[in-house]
Structure 1
Amino acid sequence: MAYRKVKRLLSDRKRKICELDAESIAYYRRNPCIACEDLLGIRLIDSQKYILQESWNKPHVLWCCSRNFGKSFLGAVFMILKTILYENQAIYIVSSVGNQSKETFSKIEEIVLRIGKTAASIDSLQDIVEKETVKSTNNKTGFQHNPESFHVSFYNGSEIFTLNGKPDNNRSRRATLVFFDEAAFSSDELIAVCEAFATQNTEFKTSTDDMFNPETEKRKCPTQLVYASSQDDMSKMFYKHYKNFAKHMLAGDRDYFVADMICDCAITTYMNGKPYTPLLTKDKVEAAMKANPDKARREYYNQPTRDGGVNQIVKWGTIRRNESFYLPQLHFEPNTRIALAFDPARTTDNSILSAMRITNDPNWGYMGDIVNCINFVDAASKKGYKLDSNRQLGKIRENLLLYNGLANDYDNLDVLLLDQGAGGGGTSTYADGLLNDWTDKDGRKHRGLIDKEHDIYKGYDEIYPNAVNKLRLLSPKKYRTQMVEEFIELIDLGVIKFPYEYKQEFISMAKQIDEENQQMESYQLSIEEIIALQSIDIMKNEITAIYKYENAEKTTRTYALSKEKENDPNFHDDRFYTIIMLAHYLYKLRRGQTVQSTPQEKFDYNSAPSCVSNIDF
């Protein structure tokens, strides 16, 4: 009897190789920490290994980690391993701003291509993943940098994308993994929209075969939602997930994992059970605690801030909503308008000069960006006293020149607002001191400043004819309540903006190369920019520490620091006072803008025809 010879698709040798490959992949899928060392050439510290192993196949994962713990780096490792060990993965990186998600994507690129700062700290990086990226003649690396979304794809069908922080642009997508970077600072709407990407059950499968039984199919890796951040405030979705996930985890639900790593885990590190070089030094934490305790407790000890109820005039959620990405402005820039506000002090309080950049938005009208905040402290004073009034006047004049540029005196400045309260000597010391002409360090003479509208200086334009009328004195007793309420209205409208919180001296910025590509560049903040950002962060703390107090009849109301902060000798409200002065000026600009109506074009009806018709009479 003759038998037909069957042609083998695989030789025994090739079949053996495929079986070994399958066994290796299955082994690495069970042991991601070993895969990290063998496939990527990265050895993690013990606490990072614990997080990676426990988060590997959990549908709901939350990493609440201190600053400098390496959240974004660990997230990059996590996503790379997912893409190469599982086929057809669709991974999205989401953050409150596009640059943050692109920075995390850049860490993935640096690990895969073995370039940049990330690769410089790891000597043993492998090239295995680099060979798995899909390349083309126009793209030699496989990493695409389209301004709308960075993207990389792999030969096994897996892909990684970045998304910006606009919820309306991030709908109707499907993902196997969504990684929320700095999730505590993302809006609740953005998180809710992007969580819907991973609602599809990966176990769902169908077939026309009558013998098909989905219950006998192999289990697949579930869709995952990973939230990575330090804490912010208790009203944010991140903190709500933190509580909810922790309850499920403690109850024994294997679908949930929460890691809470405070700064001690980054200061005292271990690798393979032995002490290792720390990720963070204790002196940085102590310095942060001295500079801004509330912020340091959030970022280093994972202690979220609690809003103070109905009497707190501005919630942290409002502050976060009004933050946007821009750098401090320390000097004149073309096509900008600057308003300055100064609250003087000498001994107990802070002496603060704040700057607001005023822009005219076609949709929102006049808006104000807080671009600088300076404390005139005497560095040589052991008790923290401020500079003497002569040197403070000199600093004010220096900043007037910096923001004015090369134009004629004060042409590029809108106004200098000054608290005339007796405590800081606003009128007698500073307003009087600014009347006279003065000479700068280069020997050039400049004009003085005067408030011609104030009762004290009526008729002084004849005594000081050269002084420019761009100084405005504001009485705290007369205008404080009005200014606070104007500030509350403007910040609720979203027309007063703040830069994002200061986190590190290096920030990543997307630079446009051409119409289709961007390149991430690292920008090092100057010392002056860092000081400005840190001082603005303290300003945000002061804003959220102000409460409304009413008498029993509710006929009068005042605004002051909370009782807790009022008893703290290191806490002040001077930065808050400068921003409400700036808000008062912005409010006047906007009020003038809304009063003005667009004049309608007049039409001479005498020349109009008496009848309009297509019929020729």
Structure 2
Amino acid sequence: MCGKKMTVTHNTTLAAVFLMTKMLLIPDYQVYISTNSAAQSIEVFKKLEDIALQRIPSFASANDLFAGEVVKSANSETGFIHNPAGHTMKLYNNSGLTTLSTNLNAIRGKRGSVLYDECAWQTEEQMAATEHFADLDSSFALSTSKIKYIRPKTMPLQLLYASSAGDVEYPYYSKYVMFSKKMLMGDPNYFVCDLNAHAIKNYSSVNGVLIESHLTDESIKKAMEDDPDSAERELFNRFRKGGGENAVVSMESLIRNSDLRLPLLCNDTGKKKFILCYDPARNFDGSVLSVWQLIEDKSIGYYLQLENVISMVDPGTSKKTPLPMPAQLDIIKDTMIAYNGARAAEWENIELYIDAGAGGGGISAVADQLMADWTDRHGNKHRGVIDPDHKQYETARKTYVDAMPIVHLINPKGFKALMYSDLEKVVKLNLMKFTEYDGKDHITVELPNGEFQEAKLSQEEQMALAQINLLKNEMSYMCRYESAGGGISYDLVRDKRNTMHDDRSYTAAMAAYALTTKRRKDLLTKPKEKKSVPVFNFRAPNIKK
């Protein structure tokens, strides 16, 4: 691999081994790792560290050659320094590696080569702040004495982009296209390597001898079935084209409001507040329940944090149709109990929003069944719940007087446009927070003291994070259409309407509507702060008559 500017799609491990080799062979080779988050940069650093310290069992022939060249100190026995401000290591030949934070103002002005890992979603501003690291001529040397010999040229600084495919609107795509053209034209400063799933599965080798790949036909097929859009990008490096200019929510907004954190599968304190949004279906559509934590901030007021998304799919069906409604009702009840929390009054911590469209059965199959008191699987009795305002329950409210008024039935015909309009606004205002997930069985989370730690994920946590990714993906394909008469409608982008559902994004729109309602009530009911007005004391004038 050669050239000053290179793109590799999309093997990060290959990039780690490549950098280790260059740092060993080339003195004074400084490399910086740039990603979408500090935690992601540190994960790349730890991948290199694990290879060097022989912690990866699948790398059976790895040796300690690189680890022996790392400079040790009294504070670090291995030489791999885990500083919250930036993980770093240095070799005896003065080569080194440093992770970068996402604070652009704090990282400007450095000089060295840059590895952009999973950079398909980096913005123009992010890349511009770090690409200038490689502007310096590494062979430049200044001396006051006469040069008595010719100095050998040093390795030029390089920019290495390693990522799966992203969106055509982001700069990584334009670089991928431009670098490919430059390489094909014979420019030695550019190199592009496109490694898709078939290349890795069929042509993985050691010293020219084919080896068994870690990818299988079954795993590729399953990925395509579970999330075709993601599999196209992650496995086959096919760039996507989202909603474009008409998109309700841009990928940039979603990325800006996503962070690495564990999903919350229950109300762990019994004091947190949650909004549950349910879009029911039985036959032709998806049935989804999303769970949002309602958080009040002193500066910005209420905002939502997505904690879980439950897709009620019957795994026994070939076309992944929804579960029978009684089974869906059981899941809703279990979720209500989990997120209301232990040692909390009945339903004091949750509100339930249900789509009341005629086709989904939200009223007859769900809301009607929740009005009466019921007993859970552990024998505990719970009060029923009811919509306090819906006209269909005008007489039922007199019968089920003990039912808690926490249900909100939403008519999609009258509210869909309003809900998606609210969704567009609250995401732009950074009032909806999401998780970031790369499909692994662990994530790197930031601790309160600023350090980072690897957290193993349970099966339930992996499922929640994967479903949140699907919700974000659906949101990015929702578009705003304006008719000739001035009417506004919302739907999936045209080329996705036959291959993708919008149920997850619809629950996000319901949540945005709920948040907007909460913020409006909070604004109207909160007492206005009395602002002190400066009073100037003047002595009464003496007026002569």
Give the TM-score band, short-chain normalised. over 0.9
Determine the structure 2 residue equivalent to 1:393: 329
Determine the structure 2 residue equivalent to 1:227: 161
Residue 573, structure 1, aligned to residue 502, structure 2? yes
Determine the structure 2 residue equivalent to 1:3: none
How much does 1:519 deviate?
6.0
2:410 to 474, 482, 504: 474
Distance 1:100 1:280 in 2: 23
Determine the structure 2 residue equivalent to 1:599: 529
Please list the CA deviations of residues 146-195 of structure 1 after superposition, one character each: whole Å capped at 9, or x if unmatched: 111111122222221111223232222222x1111111133332221111
Asked if 2 retains the 8 angstrom alpha-carbon contact of 1:420 and 1:476, the reply is: yes
Asked if 1 retains the 8 angstrom alpha-carbon contact of 2:243 and 2:478, the reply is: no
State the one-letter code of the partner of 1:245.
F
Determine the structure 1 residue equivalent to 2:9: 64
Distance 1:466 1:579 in 2: 30
Distance 1:564 1:536 in 2: 22
Asked if 1 retains the 8 angstrom alpha-carbon contact of 2:6 and 2:160, the reply is: yes
Asked if 2 retains the 8 angstrom alpha-carbon contact of 1:166 and 1:190, the reply is: no
Distance 2:9 2:534 in 1: 70
Determine the structure 2 residue equivalent to 1:411: 348
Distance 2:309 2:87 in 1: 35
What pairs up with 1:292-371 in 2 under 5 angstroms? 292-334=227-269, 335-371=271-307
State the one-letter code of the partner of 1:129.
F
Distance 1:266 1:84 in 2: 26
Asked if 2 retains the 8 angstrom alpha-carbon contact of 1:103 and 1:520, the reply is: no
Distance 1:299 1:234 in 2: 14
Q: Secondary structure at the match of 2:264?
A: coil
Distance 2:533 2:102 in 1: 48
Asked if 1 retains the 8 angstrom alpha-carbon contact of 2:444 and 2:452, the reply is: no
What pairs up with 1:259-274 in 2 under 5 angstroms? 259-268=193-202, 269-274=204-209
Asked if 2 retains the 8 angstrom alpha-carbon contact of 1:187 and 1:321, the reply is: no
What pairs up with 1:72-471 in 2 under 5 angstroms? 72-114=12-54, 116=55, 118=56, 120-175=57-112, 177-210=113-146, 216-268=150-202, 269-334=204-269, 335-406=271-342, 407-413=344-350, 415-458=351-394, 460-471=396-407
Distance 1:491 1:601 in 2: 31
Q: Secondary structure at the match of 2:81?
A: strand
How much does 1:272 deviate?
2.5
**Cα distance change, pair 464–602 in 1 and its aligned pair in 2 (3 A):** farther
Asked if 1 retains the 8 angstrom alpha-carbon contact of 2:39 and 2:260, the reply is: no
State the one-letter code of the partner of 1:416.
L
Distance 1:337 1:576 in 2: 21
Farther-moved stretch of structure 1 (583-592 vs 125-134): 125-134
Q: Secondary structure at the match of 1:552?
A: coil
Question: So what's the TM-score if we normalise by structure 2?
Answer: 0.92
**Cα distance change, pair 550–444 in 1 and its aligned pair in 2 (3 A):** same
State the one-letter code of the partner of 1:365.
G
Asked if 2 retains the 8 angstrom alpha-carbon contact of 1:502 and 1:537, the reply is: no
State the one-letter code of the partner of 1:453.
D
Determine the structure 2 residue equivalent to 1:590: 519
Determine the structure 2 residue equivalent to 1:13: none
Q: Secondary structure at the match of 1:143?
A: coil
Please list the CA deviations of residues 115-172 of structure 1 after superposition, one character each: whole Å capped at 9, or x if unmatched: x2x2x22233333333322222332222211111111122222221111223232222
How much does 1:398 deviate?
0.6
State the one-letter code of the partner of 2:183.
M
Determine the structure 2 residue equivalent to 1:20: none
How much does 1:507 deviate?
2.7
Q: Secondary structure at the match of 1:235?
A: coil
Asked if 2 retains the 8 angstrom alpha-carbon contact of 1:502 and 1:533, the reply is: no
Determine the structure 2 residue equivalent to 1:544: 476
How much does 1:594 deviate?
4.4
Q: Secondary structure at the match of 2:245?
A: coil
**Cα distance change, pair 194–593 in 1 and its aligned pair in 2 (3 A):** farther
Asked if 2 retains the 8 angstrom alpha-carbon contact of 1:344 and 1:424, the reply is: yes
Distance 2:299 2:173 in 1: 34
Please list the CA deviations of residues 377-428 of structure 1 after superposition, one character each: whole Å capped at 9, or x if unmatched: 2233445332222222221111000111111211221x10011111112222
Distance 2:519 2:110 in 1: 40
Distance 1:545 1:108 in 2: 36
- Give the paired residue count: 536
How much does 1:518 deviate?
4.1
Residue 528, structure 1, aligned to residue 468, structure 2? no
**Cα distance change, pair 603–210 in 1 and its aligned pair in 2 (3 A):** closer
**Cα distance change, pair 327–81 in 1 and its aligned pair in 2 (3 A):** same
How much does 1:510 deviate?
5.2
Could you tell me which runs of 5 or more consecutive residues in structure 2 were left unpaired when the two chains were aligned. 541-545
Structure label with greater radius of gyration: 1
Q: Secondary structure at the match of 1:310?
A: helix
Distance 2:125 2:272 in 1: 33
**Cα distance change, pair 64–92 in 1 and its aligned pair in 2 (3 A):** same
Determine the structure 1 residue equivalent to 2:543: none
**Cα distance change, pair 322–609 in 1 and its aligned pair in 2 (3 A):** closer
Measured on the aligned residues, the alpha-carbon RMSD in Å equals 2.4
Distance 1:394 1:467 in 2: 18
How much does 1:237 deviate?
1.7
Determine the structure 1 residue equivalent to 2:427: 491
Question: So what's the TM-score if we normalise by structure 1?
Answer: 0.82
Please list the CA deviations of residues 581-611 of structure 1 after superposition, one character each: whole Å capped at 9, or x if unmatched: 1010111222334454642167898xx9654
Distance 2:498 2:13 in 1: 41
State the one-letter code of the partner of 1:222.
P
Distance 1:366 1:352 in 2: 24
Farther-moved stretch of structure 1 (337-346 vs 454-463): 454-463
State the one-letter code of the partner of 1:576.
S
**Cα distance change, pair 168–379 in 1 and its aligned pair in 2 (3 A):** same
Determine the structure 2 residue equivalent to 1:38: none
Q: Secondary structure at the match of 2:246?
A: coil
State the one-letter code of the partner of 1:530.
Q
How much does 1:355 deviate?
0.8
State the one-letter code of the partner of 2:506.
Y
Farther-moved stretch of structure 1 (284-293 vs 449-458): 449-458
Please list the CA deviations of residues 196-242 of structure 1 after superposition, one character each: whole Å capped at 9, or x if unmatched: 222111122233345679xx432110011111110111111211111
How much does 1:471 deviate?
0.5
Q: Secondary structure at the match of 1:109?
A: helix
Distance 2:421 2:415 in 1: 10
Asked if 2 retains the 8 angstrom alpha-carbon contact of 1:508 and 1:520, the reply is: yes
Q: Secondary structure at the match of 1:508?
A: strand
Residue 560, structure 1, aligned to residue 498, structure 2? no
**Cα distance change, pair 392–130 in 1 and its aligned pair in 2 (3 A):** closer
